[in-house]
Amino acid sequence: MFVDRVKVYIKAGDGGNGLASFRREKYVPFGGPSGGDGGAGADVVFEVDEGLNTLMDFRYQRHFKAKRGENGMSKGQHGKNSEPMILAVPPGTTVKDEDTGEALADLTEHGQQAVIAKGGRGGRGNIRFASARNPAPEIAENGEPGVDRNIIIELKLLADVGLVGFPSVGKSTLLSVVSAARPKIADYHFTTLAPNLGVVETEDNRSFVMADLPGLIEGAHQGIGLGHQFLRHIERTRVIVHIIDMAATEGRDPYEDFNTINEELAAYDPSLMKRPQIIVANKMDMPEANDQLALFKEQLTDAYPIFPISTITRTGLRDLLFAIADQLAEIPKRDIPLEEAPKRMVYKHQAEEVPFQITRDPDGAFVLYGEQIEKLFKMTDLTREESVQRFSRQMRGMGIDQALRDRGARDGDTVRLLKYEFEFIE
């Protein structure tokens, strides 16, 4: 089964917890703190494997959770960092954040890697908090939470040539004749429900990859018919081969078919109209095909190369394949720029991310939330009094105490943070 779009949840590994411990060896005077740092959590990494051509592996497993880092140990020993979780994807894979729409990666070459979710750093052990004022701290951090996100993985085929046209114009038949591919061929519309790839070799030993793409109809750029399932795969092709039923066997006008398909391509992505396009007049073995071809040439305003062929009698195929190979030879592999994940840009007029926000529940409790304060709270070891006091000082330094007063908080009021409740004390 060909799978080219899936939604997946990924979770990078949390960092290991730091340790609060002390040296107690008999002959070590003033032993002091000895708690080591936790190890870093595992990243979630996507890596291109050229042996894959579908996203089938993600169809049945939709949740991926990487390992957390090892906790810190006594005698100042650092916890072990976790090895990254590497997920193999086929060439042509793009990854987007489902919630924000941000492009995270565009993977095209074998062995190329991209970190999709960063693992959390390890928490610091109490060695890190020793100072002249506090030579024996009982403070240790929990590991930083790893990034978790819902992502959309899409596959855009990496083919040199893309066959476009209405359903039942002969795209699959052409691919089966000029290559070893065996796509499904039948006498009804939308026989091709997924792209098929074939390697074509000309008589002079030049080769290229041809993609038979699902049939296109009017309104495809809005998702009608197979819609975006088709159009997504045409984006990376270097040459577009436009196949037309020149015999008009289904009663459609060939010139109107040609214009309709190009309008759909332009509506989906205007840059597609800048790609070299070759017109293939198919079914020339049928009656009236020659008359239709003459009329088509009269109506055509742009100078597109036209190649009359018949996939049944196999006439005209040799010249067509030579023309495609000649056209590809003039286009560098990277002539068509592949989309890149946009870089984050911070402009001066943009406000910085708010470290915390405060709302109220119906029962009158104050609710404290925000990415920065929540991460700080998760990294606090609530089992140790010194750690709790340190967290209180950090909140005060962030201005949370004053913000609660400004919102009307009084002594004894309840403050909620994640699943915990605190009492506000003046």
Q: State how far the Cα of 203 lies from the Cα of 207, in Å rounded to an integer.
A: 9
On whether 202 is known to bind a ligand per the annotation, the reply is no
Rounded to the nearest 5°, which phi and psi values hold at 136? -130, 65
Under 8 Å between Cβ of 107 and 48 = yes
Residue (of 418, 415, 420) closest to 361 by Cα position: 415
Describe the strand order of the beta sheet including 306-308 as a list of residue ranges: 196-201, 207-212, 161-164, 239-245, 277-282, 306-308
Q: Who's near 251: CB < 8 A, 6+ residues apart?
A: none
Residue (of 187, 199, 197, 188) closest to 156 by Cα position: 197
Q: State how far the Cα of 327 lies from the Cα of 230, in Å rounded to an integer.
A: 23
On whether 193 is known to bind a ligand per the annotation, the reply is yes
Both structure tokens of 222: 């809005």
On whether 65 is known to bind a ligand per the annotation, the reply is no
Rounded to the nearest 5°, which phi and psi values hold at 369? -150, 165
On whether 212 is known to bind a ligand per the annotation, the reply is yes
On whether 300 is known to bind a ligand per the annotation, the reply is no
On whether 169 is known to bind a ligand per the annotation, the reply is yes
On whether 315 is known to bind a ligand per the annotation, the reply is no
Rounded to the nearest 5°, which phi and psi values hold at 373? -70, -35
On whether 207 is known to bind a ligand per the annotation, the reply is no
- The total number of residues shown for the chain amounts to 426
Both structure tokens of 374: 């929540």
On whether 123 is known to bind a ligand per the annotation, the reply is no
On whether 44 is known to bind a ligand per the annotation, the reply is no
On whether 165 is known to bind a ligand per the annotation, the reply is yes
On whether 85 is known to bind a ligand per the annotation, the reply is no
What DSSP line would sit under 217-242, residue for residue?
A: -TTGGGT-TTHHHHHHHHTT-SEEEE
Q: State how far the Cα of 229 lies from the Cα of 165, in Å rounded to an integer.
A: 14
Q: Who's near 214: CB < 8 A, 6+ residues apart?
A: 190, 192, 193, 194, 195, 226, 229, 230
On whether 282 is known to bind a ligand per the annotation, the reply is yes
On whether 18 is known to bind a ligand per the annotation, the reply is no
On whether 293 is known to bind a ligand per the annotation, the reply is no
Under 8 Å between Cβ of 195 and 176 = no
On whether 310 is known to bind a ligand per the annotation, the reply is yes
On whether 56 is known to bind a ligand per the annotation, the reply is no
On whether 99 is known to bind a ligand per the annotation, the reply is no
Q: State how far the Cα of 197 lies from the Cα of 162, in Å rounded to an integer.
A: 9
On whether 316 is known to bind a ligand per the annotation, the reply is no
Both structure tokens of 99: 């919630």
On whether 253 is known to bind a ligand per the annotation, the reply is no
**CB crowding 112-137: b at 16 or more within 10 Å, else e:** eebebbbbbbbbbbbbbbbeeeeeeb
On whether 166 is known to bind a ligand per the annotation, the reply is yes
Under 8 Å between Cβ of 407 and 413 = no
Under 8 Å between Cβ of 14 and 41 = yes
Partnered with residue 415 across adjacent β-strands are: 366, 422
On whether 71 is known to bind a ligand per the annotation, the reply is no
Binding residues for GTP: 165-172, 190-194, 212-215, 282-285, 310-312
Residues within the annotated binding site for Mg(2+)?
A: 172, 192
Going by the annotation, the residues of the binding site are 165-172, 190-194, 212-215, 282-285, 310-312
